[in-house]
Chains A and B, each alone.
Chain A
Amino acid sequence: MEMTTEKIGDVTVIVLPGEQLDAGNAKEFKRDVAPLLEPCSKVVFDLRELRFVDSSGLGAILSCLRQLNAKGGDLKLCAMSKPVRALFELVRMHKIFDIYGTRDDALHALES
């Protein structure tokens, strides 16, 4: 799965590709995003493209958070669509993740 990454200062911004992240592509996403996270410690996932996430997709994003947290890094999420936000709230993951409205807000939070 192709992912656009952008380096802004010491923060890596990754735009999650495609409209859906479900059990059908969550494994692929996990496999392909892991090497991108490898050299980073501060990461923002830009979710602007995503319209649908299921429990497997959520599990994949959660595994990224744990991968980064394990080495003292940080992951912020931004630009979440309404249905994706609804799922995060349903399983209380909005309390586990730091979620920002815009990419700038997320970057700002990582700067300080």
Chain B
Amino acid sequence: MLFVKDAEHLRFVRWNRTEEEALGIDRSAAIGKSDYDFFPEEQARFFEAKDRAVLTGGQMVDIPEEAIQTAHRGLRYLHTIKVPVLGADGKPKYLVGISEDITERKRAQEELARAREQEVEIGFKIQQTLLLEQPPQDLPGVRAAALTIPSQRIDGDFYDFFNHRDTCLDVIVGDVMGKGIPAALLGAATKSHFLQALSRLISLSPPGTLPEPKDIVTLAHAEVARQLIELESFVTLCYARFDLVERRLELVDCGHTTTIHYRAASQTCRLLQGENVPLGVNESEIFEQMSVAVEPGDVLLFYSDGLTETRNVQGELFGIERLSECVRRHGHLEPRDLIEQIRLEAVAFSSSERFGDDLTCVAVRLEERRLPLFRAEIEITSDLKELARARAFVRDVCTRLDQPPAEETINQLELAVTEAASNVMRHAYGGRTDRLIQIVAEAFDDRIVLRLHHLGQSFDPKAVRPPVFDGSQEGGFGMFIISQSVDEVRYHRDERGRHCIMMIKKRP
């Protein structure tokens, strides 16, 4: 659209048809009038200021975006170019304006920006819910911990854990090439193919035996290879099985990052690397499996290349040597503390809390397998009147042990079980009194473990506010009391998908 104003009074002298249509003002009504006659004062003043700038500057001015209130079409956005036209005396005589309505384009851009933001959000949710569940906490014979630091753009990192009747633990760690929602979805698809392959092969295996990792990988690969090849993507992956009875690690490495094996006996690290290519590279790949002896105290560290490919300001890679040295130094720690040390080292190295790629890391440590000396369980309903029964159960278990704990310890365990069960009844079950809570007590020579299993709402212990000790509040002490009465509290899901609160009291 085009308009011309006289330079002195800034009144319209020309007004073309598109201008008529766009602004809903007839040519006859416009000629001889100024911006103040049609537009809100604030807008008119903005136009006038720009006009004057063009005229005094004597040069073309490009206004990338200006808002304009139209008669029939609401608020529109224009991209306008204003040019001064000089008279014979060399002074500005007219001002010519050419405008383009950019309202639709602007909306489309905003839409696009919102969509991008949403994509990151969705990708992140897929990753957190489908790809990266927390490792199981109550596996006898194994301690596992995982760390994920998502980057701005989601990778398809994933891991999964399968517990086979407490004698074997399968750990899968994978990384999909690519980023964003496609990678996240491919990760989720690959993960579910593995679960499917595993359950199909278990149902075909003779009772009491497990399918070999390489056979599971082969079957899962047969399902995903075609899709991966079509989508021009591939997945690097480690399928590791910890045989807790035979103390062996069976490993199928499909082009994944080198697995680090920390050996507690010699306090050294060795690197385990297989020969297989990633999933989706060669449809007829035959997967090889390696077998390694592992001992209690040994740690296996799996990670995504986001970790080793972290760079410092000089552009150097964090690299496998730095990582295995870090594992060697901290391999004796609890897996979750080891992983925290690795995180700290990577952060210090890159001088940043944020990473270009997702950073995923899983540590699994073998423990001495010990069976409890004594085990008992009861089921109570979620009625607060049942708390007394829960306490009586705990006291009974304690007094039946060959070496009963001190009276003070029994009191603390009674207190802990009461507070935990009361939290479950009031919060997880929202006050309903007809739900079930299973309480399991296990005594080992060095600890007593109490577990409460329930199907109520999960709750975030980190969201609980710290207690106030000045007498001004009558509640909010429960979690604090539990933490002070036992040595360790863990929250996880059990093998049946129930929430589990696990409280550990050490024995002297």
Contacts and interface: CB of A to CB of B under 8 A. Distances in A.
B475 interface: yes
A24 B480 contact: no
Interface of B: 383-388, 391, 408, 411-412, 414-415, 418-419, 422, 425-426, 467, 469-471, 474-475, 477-478, 480-481, 484-485
Interface in A24-65: 24-25, 52, 54-56, 58-60, 62-63, 65
B426 A96 contact: no
A91 interface: yes
Nearest to B476: A55
Contacts of B391: 20, 52
A interface: dominant SS: helix
A55 B411 contact: no
Contacts of A3: none
Contacts of B414: 52, 83
Contacts of B480: 91
A90 B480 CA distance: 9
A108 interface: no
A87 interface: yes
B422 A87 contact: no
B471 A62 contact: yes
A87 B386 contact: no
B426 A91 contact: no
Contacts of A87: 415, 481
Interface string A63-76: 10110000000000
Contact of B484 (A25, A60, A82, A90): A90
Nearest to B422: A23
A54 B415 contact: yes
B475 A59 contact: yes
A1 interface: no
Contacts of A96: 469-471
Nearest to A65: B471
A1 to B, nearest CB: 13
Q: Which 9 pairs of residues, A with B, have the shortest CB-CB distance?
A: A59-B474, A96-B471, A55-B477, A92-B469, A24-B384, A83-B411, A23-B422, A24-B385, A23-B384
B454 to A, nearest CB: 16
Interface of A: 20, 22-25, 52, 54-56, 58-60, 62-63, 65-66, 82-83, 86-87, 90-93, 95-96
A83 B425 CA distance: 24
Contacts of B385: 24-25
Contacts of A66: 471, 474
Given A59-B474, A59-B475, A91-B469, A54 B411 contact: no
Given A23-B384, A52-B418, A91-B467, 6 more contacts: A23-B425, A24-B383, A59-B475, A66-B474, A87-B415, A91-B469
A22 B416 CA distance: 12
B422 A54 contact: yes
Nearest to B467: A91
Contacts of A58: 477
Given A23-B418, A24-B385, A55 B471 contact: no
Contacts of A59: 474-475, 477
A91 B384 contact: no
Contact of A24 (B386, B408, B412, B484): B386
A86 B411 contact: yes
Nearest to B425: A23
A69 B413 CA distance: 33
Contacts of B481: 54-55, 87, 90-91
Contacts of A24: 383-388
